[in-house]
Amino acid sequence: MERKKLFTQVDGLLHGGDYNPEQWLDRPDILEKDIKYMKDAHINTVTMGVFSWAVHEPTEGNINFDWLAEIMDRLYENGIYTVLATPTGARPAWLDEKYPSAMRCNEMGVRNHHGVRHNHCMQSPEFREKVRIMDSKLAERFAGHPGLLMWHISNELGGYCYCDTCRKKFQEWLADRYDHDIEKLNKAWWTTFWSHKFNSFDQIDPPYANGENCVLGLNLDWKRFSTWSATDFMRFEIDTLRSAGAKEPTTTNFMEMFYDYDYHYMKDFIDVISWDNYPEMHNNWQTDADHLLERSFNHALFRSMKRDKPFMMMESAPGLVNWRPFNKYRRPDMHELISMQAVATGSDTVQYFQIRKSRGSSEQWHGAVIDHIGTNDTRVFKEVAKLGEDLESISEVAGTLSDNKVAIIFDWDNRWAIDDAWALAKETKKFDETCMNIYNVFMKLGVEPDIISSDMDWSGYKIICAPMLYVLHDGVGEKIADFVKNGGQFMSTYFTGYVNKDLLANLGGFPGDGLSEVFGLRSEEIDTLYPEDRNSISIIDRAGKPSHSIEVRDYQELLRDVTADVLARYNGDYVAGKPAITRNNYGDGRAYYVACRTKQEDIEFIYREMLEHAHIAYTKLPAGIEKHTRYAEDCAYDFYLNCTTEEIVVPNVTGTDLITKDKLAGSLSLKGYQIAVIRR
């Protein structure tokens, strides 16, 4: 595949991160040292200006960027590029004092006090005007600077605002969505239930904590609106930069499987996907390998948002974070493993929060490349510098892409709707976990899935898994039918196709929207088990006899009208003898339905079967090894990560290790936490 470089100025991978020299303007000695240390650490980029508003504009209208320009120039002279942020993630006190509408209102509609960050009202006209002035001036001054790589819009956009301006905007957004016809909204939200009918759009409130929050359609539309509102704010910032002459690419830093906004909606309005990766390593509930797999799922989610270019790991922590319940230091070599995992999964950058540790305030104990001790020989510094060197050794992977044939559907609407549904059991819905568990099964078979939305382009995929796809967007039933008809392998589970995009139950049996025919069955009941309840199913072997049995927990559906082949039947409870796993030949493909919750590894045979039908080669990897592949025009790069502390030998590896320069023709031996990048 053709390499797609993110930036014309840089040949290889980016290494660097958030840098806040504004905290040290009275210490030129420190700033001087920083540049030397950055070079020692093979750092070639910094992100500046993220929280610099109060320095940019200490009093209203008194804007001065000279400090920033000087530092940017100095960095550029030293081969260090800048990602420049708009400073809207936090506001100076004068701004909130004069324009209180910039401060968000909480879910009771009460205005916040000044403080903290990431808490602006995205719709406040006064705040927007201040942002417009700030961003235009930034672009006028820095657009086209040879050291400027890209624009970083605000920081970690998030949260909801319940102020009157947002209430009004919500009503306008609803009017647009429902064609200015309140009866359409009433129908979609099924408001005759509990007499919740509205006569006009201006009667509708956001779902205040002490107001109307039981109309599920309203709750979901509020989340959709809030996604729109944040995107609208982000677009406003981008448009402002562009009108003031900025031509560089834009990004905003997303967060891991962030719940507030639908990133699949936001992704289309920025040029490059970036995200902030803060794993909780060496924790007391998971192995490192399992925790890293969760990270890998996140990377895959962000990578799959724009499959035609690499993404960026915009932030990660050198050493440790300081805001988890327990803030444990990364053990030796873990830094390289976490960082290389990002590159393995498709990131062209390893960036940190932060280059130099702040001396005071809430993040003073958060990991940094340069610690309070102020030297370049700390354990963390040396690990960062070693990684910097290794990133240079593998620089040829920059711009290479993944080419995966398996995808898992992960819709934000669906997550929200499942959690808000008065059904199943609150603690065991576990949609995210279910998707991750399926991902893990493929990963352990050495096959990397993409994580996509039901609305994205599915071309190129041969296998799609859509567990618990409770909400079916318009047209998705048909899309699934076409996918299978044309030879695709599709897998779904209990709690699929229950409602349409408005959360109205599909009538005529689940899964709805034509899917009963695709799967060859209908689901009549979904039964919720208590955490200690167990049932089991027996897999039917080729001779039609029950073979081994598999444990069922949490959920079991009662199926009827089954015309599909039955692969497993329930053993106990009131569903005993009924079909539990089915496979339906439909057109040229197959549709699998798993009607109950099992451990995913217990039903690995389904995934293997799908891979075989799809002619995708797989090999079970040694436990604790992760493998990812990036493709170039003429070669491929296999990344092997040993996510354990033990030495592991991986069989059947051939090619050249870009870090050790070893030529491999047989097996690869990796020490604990070691990684290898093999060109083949």
Window of 69-77, 177-185, 313-321, 503-511 that interacts with ligand GAL by CB under 6 A: 313-321
Smallest gap from residue 341 Cβ to ligand GAL (A): 18
Strands 636-642 and 675-679: antiparallel
Q: 237 vs 276, which CB is nearer to ligand GAL?
A: 276
DSSP state of 408: E
Q: 321 vs 342, which CB is nearer to ligand GAL?
A: 321
Taking CB under 6 A as the criterion, the residue among 34, 315, 450, 502 binding ligand GAL is 315
Smallest gap from residue 87 Cβ to ligand GAL (A): 12
x/- track of binding to ligand GAL for residues 265-304 (CB under 6 A): -----------x-x--------------------------
Whether 350 contacts 339, CB under 8 Å: yes
Taking CB under 6 A as the criterion, the residue among 60, 212, 232, 363 binding ligand GAL is 363
Q: Which of 2, 9, 15 is nearest to 391 (CA)?
A: 15
Smallest gap from residue 317 Cβ to ligand GAL (A): 6
Taking CB under 6 A as the criterion, the residue among 15, 366, 405, 583 binding ligand GAL is 366
- Across 438-560, where does the E strand assignment appear? 449-452, 463-466, 471-472, 489-493, 499-500, 522-528, 535-540, 546-552, 555-560
Helix (H) or strand (E) holding 152: strand 148-152
Mark whether 315 is an active-site residue.
yes
Q: Which of 459, 383, 403 is nearest to 637 (CA)?
A: 403
DSSP state of 125: H
x/- track of binding to ligand GAL for residues 153-172 (CB under 6 A): --xx----------------
Whether 142 contacts 124, CB under 8 Å: no
Instruction: State the virtual CA torsion across 340, 342, 348, 351 in degrees, nearest 10.
Output: -90
x/- track of binding to ligand GAL for residues 111-150 (CB under 6 A): ----------------------------------------
Smallest gap from residue 609 Cβ to ligand GAL (A): 41
Smallest gap from residue 456 Cβ to ligand GAL (A): 26
Count of CB atoms situated within 10 Å of the CB of 114: 15
Say which of 57, 315, 448, 626 is annotated catalytic: 315
Q: 327 vs 549, which CB is nearer to ligand GAL?
A: 327
d(CA 510, CA 497): 6
Smallest gap from residue 527 Cβ to ligand GAL (A): 41
Taking CB under 6 A as the criterion, the residue among 46, 85, 321, 355 binding ligand GAL is 321
**# binding residues, ligand GAL (CB under 6 A):** 10
Taking CB under 6 A as the criterion, the residue among 311, 352, 353, 431 binding ligand GAL is 353
Task: Give me the DSSP letters along 158-216.
Answer: -----SHHHHHHHHHHHHHHTTT-HHHHHHHHTTTGGG---SSGGGPPP--TTS----H
d(CA 510, CA 323): 43
Measured from each CB, the residue nearest to ligand GAL is 353
Q: Which of 168, 116, 151 is nearest to 237 (CA)?
A: 151
Mark whether 517 is an active-site residue.
no
Window of 60-68, 97-105, 144-152, 314-322 that interacts with ligand GAL by CB under 6 A: 314-322
Q: 276 vs 294, which CB is nearer to ligand GAL?
A: 276
Whether 598 contacts 552, CB under 8 Å: yes
Q: Considering the rule CB under 6 A, would residue 356 count as an interface residue with ligand GAL?
A: no
Smallest gap from residue 481 Cβ to ligand GAL (A): 42
Q: 230 vs 625, which CB is nearer to ligand GAL?
A: 230
- The alpha carbon of residue 156 and the mean position of all alpha carbons in its chain are separated, in whole angstroms, by 12
Residue 3's contacts (CB-CB under 8 Å, 6 or more residues apart) are 398, 399, 400, 401, 632, 633
Say which of 57, 156, 294, 383 is annotated catalytic: 156
Q: Say how many Å lie between the first and final Cα of the chain, rounded.
A: 14
Per the document, the length of the chain is: 680
Q: 81 vs 254, which CB is nearer to ligand GAL?
A: 254
Residue 392: both structure tokens together: 């240079």
Smallest gap from residue 365 Cβ to ligand GAL (A): 11
Which residues of the chain form contacts with ligand GAL (CB under 6 A)? 155-156, 276, 278, 315, 317, 321, 353, 363, 366
Residues belonging to the active site: 156, 315
